Chain A
Amino acid sequence: MTLTALAFYAFATILLASAVRVITAKNPVHSVLFLILAFFNAAGLFVLIGAEFVAFILVIVYVGAVAVLFLFVVMMLDIDFQQLRSGFLQNLPVGIIVGLILAVELVALVALHYVQPGAGVATAAPAAAVSNTEAIGRVLYTDYVYAFQASGLILLVAMIGAIVLTLRHRAGVRRQQIAQQLDRKRSDVVAIRKVPTRGGV
């Protein structure tokens, strides 16, 4: 029990500290690395409440795929730090307003008892007999099959959109056509000619 509590405080502390570092780090690459650390600790918290499937999916999807792409883009940026800081005062009011609204909403949510300690655990309790991978599988493809398919469709549309936006066919680029290469026969491309001396082909 104490070990669990210790693990909880360790994960929670590192999570909050790295979340703060995400927005305070000067170098955007460091920000992304701290974001990854935050994701990882959030996964640790999931494991502690017994949701190991969600925890590992979080690591696989967010840390393993999404954050890699973040890092990819951020590493390629050519950042001028002076310019980055120049708009700070101008953007400050907007940032404060958005932050305040979020804070008020969060406080209202907790204060009005929509989220209570143990509120989420109560609904998950009946599934305790089966492993939570199985529990999720059972409802995901039966009760929530339309929602599941719809989210798949949305992702597909987003994927097609991304490909359409970035795909361009440049003229004059020679691409490898593997089917064509395999299809080529010797008789199509090699011809044996009799060349008369000083006559040429």
Chain B
Amino acid sequence: MGEYLTSLWGDLPVVVRIVAAILAIVVPLLVGMAMLTYMERKVLGAMQLRQGPALVGPFGLLQPFADGLKLLAKETIIPSGANRMVFLAAPMLTFLLALVAWAVIPFGEGLVLANINVGVLYLFAISSLGVYGIIMAGWASNSKYSFLGGLRSAAQMVSYEVSIGLVIITVLLCVGSLNLSKIVEAQRTVWFCIPLFPMFVVFFVSALAETNRAPFDLPEGESELSGGFFVEYSSMSFAMFFLGEYINMILMSALTSVLFLGGWLPPLDIAPFNWLPGPIWFILKIVLVLFFFIWVRATLPRYRYDQLMRLGWKVFLPFSLIWVVLTAGVLVYFDLLPTT
């Protein structure tokens, strides 16, 4: 049966296979995103001694789908002063970029849509494009709150990308390849979160800033900007931003687990751990990182804008630069440089 299926799969035209593979990634991703909003509300509820959503479906599990349907049924409002084309393109761009990044994420050994040699660079390029959706939305809405939110977000994302880049360089120094599968393979002996623990922390905090999550959610800052760059959006165009933001969160968690938590590898390669297949481990790690995202949101108050910039440029940048030099020095001195 299995052999028959494999041969059947091989006989299909390339285009059909690619579309099927894409659907196999995107559909679980969208369901996962819906579950993430549910998980966020449940975890926040538990941390604030509330119940969270509990009425729609068993344990409130169907709440995100009810919310989605509600958004679909609403009217799309385009402000009369808005720049129509850019206004409508912005949420689509955000959503699209959040999805295309998943092409290079390895879910298991050989389980990747596009196993390209410059996987890390691809992810970095896509995440640096993410700022355009927000900037375009902020400008095209023709409203001062949106505009301020867009500007803040642009400055914030560009600043934290610099330290993310340096963190990625330290990991690459230890691996000797830009291929994400090879990065995971290199962690067979020890996960990088142990030898590179400070970089792991810097990466996680930068990921919070990059995805505009609390405590760095200044672009939205409802108490000062009444909702930030998407104040003017409603209905599906709002839902696109919402989807994009949460999928980006999952993406950053996936990247954290690929770079530092050993991707699909089990914690120890012994009996009870390696019973679970690789993709399950990968998903468990993503959920763990997402739990941290939510935990941080429940715990910390929002940063002030100048403190945010100070943290990015004056603390993280020099710190990660020193670590790049230190890692390179240690690797060269002890002759540990990976050979390809």
Considering only residues 156-183 of chain B, those with a C-beta below 8 Å from chain A are: 158, 161, 178
- Of the four ranges (under 10, 10 to 19, 20 to 34, 35 or more), the interface on chain A belongs to 20 to 34
Cβ–Cβ contact A59 & B131, under 8 A: no
- Given A72-B151, A176-B306, is A56 in contact with B125 using a C-beta cutoff of 8 Å? yes
Whether, in the assembled complex, A23 has its beta carbon less than 8 Å from a beta carbon of chain B, the answer is no
Partner of A53, one of B121, B158, B161, B307: B121
**Does A52 contact B118, Cβ atoms closer than 8 Å?**
yes
A158 to B340, CA, bound (A): 37
Question: For window 69-91 of chain B, which residues contact chain A by CB distance below 8 Å?
Answer: 83, 86
User: How far, in whole Å, are A36 and B310 apart by their CA atoms in the complex?
Assistant: 29
Q: Which residue of B lies closest to A76 (CB)?
A: B151
Complex-state Cα separation, A166 to B179, whole angstroms: 41
Q: Does the CB pair B118–A29 fall under 8 Å?
A: no
Tell me whether A133 and B117 are in contact in the complex, defined as CB-CB below 8 angstroms, given that A65-B158, A68-B154, A71-B135 are known contacts: yes
B139 touches A131 (CB 8 A): no
Complex interface bits, B113-142 against A, C-beta within 8 A gives 1, otherwise 0: 000111001101100110110011001000
What residues on A are CB-neighbors of B122 within 8 Å? 56
Residues on B with C-beta less than 8 A from A56 are: 118, 121-122, 124-125
**Beta-carbon contacts under 8 Å, A59-78 to B:** 59-60, 63-65, 68, 71-72, 75
Chain A 158-176: CB-based contact to B (< 8 A → 1; otherwise 0): 0000000000000000001
Q: Check if A59 sits within 8 Å of B125, measured CB to CB.
A: yes
Q: Is the CB of A60 within 8 A of B121?
A: yes
Known A52-B118, A63-B129: A29·B158 in contact at CB below 8 Å = no
Docked-complex contact A60 and B139, CB < 8 angstroms: no
Is there a chain B Cβ closer than 8 Å to A57's Cβ?
Answer: yes
B116 contact set on A, CB distance < 8 A: 52
Beyond A53-B118, A176-B306, whether A60 also contacts B132 by CB under 8 A is no
Contact indicator B154/A133 (Cβ below 8 Å): no
Residue of A whose beta carbon sits closest to that of B85? A30
User: Measured between alpha carbons, how far is A28 from B29 in the docked complex, in Å?
Assistant: 37
| Residue of B with least CB distance to A61 | B128
Which residue of chain A lies nearest to B151 when distances are taken between CB atoms in the complex? A72
Q: Is the CB of B117 within 8 A of A131?
A: yes
Does B132 lie within 8 Å of A36, measured CB to CB?
Answer: yes
Contact of A105 with B by CB under 8 A: no
In whole angstroms, what is the CA distance A60 to B178 when docked? 15
Q: Which residue of chain B has the shortest Cβ distance to A60 in the bound complex? A: B125
Is A134 touching B129 in the complex (CB atoms < 8 A)?
A: no
Contact of B124 among A52, A60, A178 (CB under 8 A): A60
Residues in A with CB closer than 8 Å to B86 are 29-30, 33
A30, A60, A133 interface centre (most CB from chain B within 10 Å): A60
For A43, the closest partner residue in chain B by CB is B125
Query: Given the complex of chains A and B, what is the CA–CA distance between A198 and B139 in angstroms?
Result: 62
Measured CA separation A63–B86 after assembly (Å)? 17
A133 in contact with B158 given A29-B139, A60-B121 (CB within 8 Å): no
Which of chain B's residues have a CB closer than 8 A to the CB of A133?
A: 117-118, 121, 178
Given A60-B128, A64-B125, A134 contacting B340 (CB threshold 8 A) = yes
Once the chains bind, are A64 and B139 in contact (CB under 8 Å)?
A: no
Set of chain A residues within 8 Å of B117, measured between Cβ atoms: 52, 131, 133
Instruction: Give chain A nearest CB distance to B329 CB in angstroms.
Output: 16
**Which of chain B's residues has its CB closest to A30's CB?**
B86
| Residues from 119 to 133 in A contacting B, C-beta threshold 8 Å | 131, 133
1/0 per residue, CB under 8 A from B, across A30-54: the answer is 1001001000000000000000110
Distance, CA A63 to CA B121, complexed state (A): 13
The residue from A59, A75, A176 contacting B139, defined by CB atoms under 8 A apart: A75
- B residues less than 8 Å from A65 (CB atoms): 128, 158, 161
Contacting residues of chain B (290-326) with chain A, CB-CB under 8 angstroms: 306-307, 310
The listed residue with most B CB atoms (<10 A of its CB), out of A53, A56, A63, A71, is: A56
Which chain B residues border A27 with CB–CB below 8 Å?
Answer: 83
Residues in chain B near residue A71, CB distance under 8 A: 132, 135, 139, 154
Q: List 24 A-B contacts (CB under 8 A).
A: A29-B83, A29-B139, A36-B132, A52-B116, A52-B117, A53-B118, A53-B121, A56-B122, A56-B125, A57-B121, A59-B125, A63-B125, A63-B128, A64-B131, A65-B158, A68-B131, A68-B135, A71-B132, A72-B135, A72-B151, A75-B151, A133-B118, A133-B121, A134-B340
The 4 tightest CB contacts between A and B, nearest first, are: A64-B128, A56-B121, A59-B125, A131-B117
10 extra interface residue pairs, beta carbon distance < 8 Å, beyond A59-B129, A64-B131:
A52-B117, A56-B124, A59-B125, A60-B124, A64-B128, A68-B154, A68-B158, A72-B135, A72-B151, A133-B121
